[in-house]
Amino acid sequence: MVKNSFISVIFQEKREENSGSVEFQVFRFTNKIQRLTS
């Protein structure tokens, strides 16, 4: 269940931010995970 929500977050981010480097997207995504898991 948690994995599915993470996956949906990834796809939402990619749709919203097609511009921007992959590194930046990964950086933002890891920050989100840290916030969700803390």
Domain ranges of the chain: 1-37
Q: What is the pTM of this model?
A: 0.39
What tens digit of pLDDT does each residue of 1-38 get? 567 777 777 777 666 655 567 778 888 899 998 898 87
Residue type for position 24: F
pLDDT of residue 1: 56
pLDDT of residue 18: 56
pLDDT of residue 15: 65
- Backbone Cα Rg of the chain: 10
pLDDT of residue 8: 78
**Distance in angstroms (rounded) separating the CA atoms of residues 13 and 10:** 5
CB 25 within 8 A of CB 17: yes
pLDDT of residue 14: 66
